[in-house]
A and B are shown apart, each in its own frame.
Chain A
């Protein structure tokens, strides 16, 4: 075999760096969506590879549902600080107060409600491009996604009318008010992400590793027990996401495979305590990563519908 050869992770890396540099060069006000999850952790390392020794040429944005795991928030804030990046946070809670978003009656998950908050943040800061860590292997509507995903002035995705994406020549042109979503990890799989985390020795939040947690069974999943409601002056943000009398609480040794918010993240029973263990577990897994996300189970086209409405 020739020595001028890239293995598959090096190939995915060089492709993603190229995409990130195109963003920096072609857009005026890009932003990187950083949640603290494993995909956006890879995205940060790739951004460092693309732009160091310069400062990262874009701020970070996170849209909180208000149902976050505290471990994740701590990790997100610390990483942004360490990298010297400006972290912007907008939340569904605040959006209720300002009227941008309205709580959906009967709906516990706030996944849908992130859409208007994201769109409002794009308007507020005049972002023309949002870089996200979404991967095509996650879900079949994602499998149809381009690296450069054009969104109209309402944030809408039109899957029937996507721009052809040929070679590595990305058409980044926008008219005022329009927005681009860019996904440098498009071609990565869950396994690639973990192998990259291992190769680059990247730190990940502790909830990816095995730990003890109080959980309750609902909808075929172990959901984490939300923190207690302490502020009597405000409505319980976890109303509906607490165990009902017939749902028993158990203390389990669990970890997360994919992180949404606390009300829609299924915990898996696992002893995996290192990245090596996780890789072995992913290799042996018999269900997909998204199988543990309650928000995708709503209907066969749940993701497609959310993307059409402006979800990233």
Chain B
């Protein structure tokens, strides 16, 4: 580890909104105005502008990189962009607004610290705005920006801005979003994106980039309860170094909390207890490690631990169950019906699972649940009950985005058909019973 005086933080965000709300233009504008574009990229834009755009540079062409996207003028798939200012580095997922590709919005948003939902000032809040806000909330994205775009086409009206804001505020309290910021802008002309706009004297700021640079993200990781899903068992078979003959390390990315040398830990689902002897890294042993570091733990006792097991701290124990309840976003053209069997990947474990019931479908327009629907179709969000072939060691998604998430994979075609967020366990695992069971 270096001891840099000045460390640069990374902020991941995604942009979403309906088709033609100007997402790609906004990202193009952010890159252009923050001087993150290179001369050859600008030249390429100008070249294609001469060919197709009647001489006007189309900033959206920066992110719409596929032939089919340029043909249709829409974003089909998530594009990732990278830029930096002296204060932060940014990873932007430009996620599609087209209804057919909502699954890609979930893809882009699942790793984000912040979501930018674009709203066309003329259109106001439409179903896609509600859908994307709802998905941001379900995914527990900590920060939300509502970018009221195309304000130039709404005469820079403060009244219009406040009207849209008021409309959002009627349903935001029903969602799980703590931090929401409203910014009026014109992505096309660059107002309030990087530079403050002279058209909005009534808006105190900040600009979008100003907000992205300063929003507090330090506490977005879960540091409360230690969780290490074991990814790979590090067992040198032909070590050149005889001291490694007995080396058995459990490698993985810490999904929650902090671990220290000498700490008591438990391996689930087995329930065996041990003590952390060493936190091994290539750069030398650590005294402690924390989420989301990738490490290798060596334990005091020789336990039978393999991929799919979870090493946890003794406090705030997770749930352990094969009957689960979860919210899912269905992503496949073939609808989900009760009784379908899947492979469920959770942490480092893949288990067979069956959908035992579909409890409801959540209407993204009203946030009201429709009880017991016959099926969930593509882009639906609903609650289901699952039974898994082996019990999962899990937390509620609201507590931990890593140990509370799963995907469903359809066997045979191997498509990823759903993203799932687990409800919290009804009761934590009780280690004394597990001890007895060995």
Contacts and interface: CB of A to CB of B under 8 A. Distances in A.
Interface of A: 1-2, 4-8, 10-15, 17-18, 21-22, 24-25, 48-55, 84, 136-137, 139-141, 143-144, 159-160, 162-169, 171, 173-175, 186-187, 189, 191, 199, 285-288, 290-291, 300-301, 304
Contacts of A52: 282
Contacts of A13: 294
Looking at B38, B405, B406, which has the most chain A CB atoms within 10 Å of its CB?
B38
A-B complex: 6 closest residue pairs judged by Cβ atoms: A140-B65, A7-B7, A17-B294, A8-B10, A291-B40, A173-B414
B79 A175 contact: no
Interface in B294-315: 294, 307
Interface string B74-114: 00111111101000010100000000000110110011000
B77 A169 contact: no
A21 to B, nearest CB: 5
Interface of B: 1-2, 4, 7-10, 38-41, 44, 48, 62-63, 65-68, 76-82, 84, 89, 91, 103-104, 106-107, 110-111, 218-219, 221, 223, 231-232, 234-241, 244, 247, 249, 251-253, 258, 280-283, 290, 292-294, 307, 331, 343, 345-346, 348, 401-402, 405-407, 409, 414-416, 419
A8 B89 CA distance: 7
Contact of A166 (B9, B231, B419): B419
A25 B405 contact: no
Contact of B405 (A21, A169, A171, A285): A169
Contacts of B79: 140, 143-144
14 contacts: A7-B8, A8-B8, A14-B253, A14-B292, A22-B231, A53-B234, A54-B236, A139-B65, A141-B66, A164-B107, A167-B405, A169-B405, A187-B80, A288-B40
A282 B292 CA distance: 29
Nearest to B251: A21
B2 A285 contact: no
Nearest to B107: A164
A12 B8 CA distance: 12
Given A5-B7, A144-B65, A163 B294 contact: no
A168 B345 CA distance: 11
A22 B346 CA distance: 13
A143 B293 CA distance: 25
Given A17-B253, A167-B402, A171-B409, 14 more contacts: A4-B258, A5-B7, A11-B292, A21-B252, A21-B253, A22-B231, A22-B348, A50-B294, A52-B282, A160-B68, A160-B76, A163-B416, A167-B405, A191-B84
Contacts of B415: 163
Given A22-B231, A53-B247, A164-B106, A1 B10 contact: no
Contact of B107 (A7, A17, A166, A290): A166
B253 A25 contact: no
Contacts of A287: 38-40
A159 to B, nearest CB: 5
Given A11-B10, A53-B234, A304 B67 contact: yes
A54 to B, nearest CB: 4
Contacts of B80: 136, 143, 186-187
Contacts of A4: 221, 223, 258, 290
A140 B409 CA distance: 29
Nearest to A51: B234
A125 B293 CA distance: 34
Contacts of A160: 68, 76-77
Contact of A169 (B38, B241, B282, B345): B345
Contacts of A54: 234-237, 239
A120 B2 CA distance: 43
Nearest to B94: A143
Contacts of A18: 231, 252-253, 294
Contact of B91 (A159, A171, A187): A187
A174 B412 CA distance: 9
Contacts of B252: 18, 21
Contacts of A143: 63, 65, 79-81
A25 B232 contact: yes
A159 B110 contact: no
Given A8-B10, A140-B65, A21 B407 contact: no
Contact of A187 (B48, B82, B282): B82
A266 to B, nearest CB: 12
A232 B239 CA distance: 48
Contacts of A300: 44, 48
B294 A286 contact: no
Contact of B407 (A5, A55, A171): A171
Contacts of B221: 4
Contacts of A304: 65-67
A1 B47 CA distance: 46
B377 to A, nearest CB: 16
Contacts of B240: 84
Contacts of B244: 53
A14 B293 contact: yes
A91 B381 CA distance: 50
A12 B79 CA distance: 18
B37 to A, nearest CB: 9
B107 to A, nearest CB: 5
A296 to B, nearest CB: 10
Nearest to A7: B7
B399 to A, nearest CB: 15
Given A53-B247, A286-B39, A167 B232 contact: no
A14 to B, nearest CB: 4
A300 B51 CA distance: 12
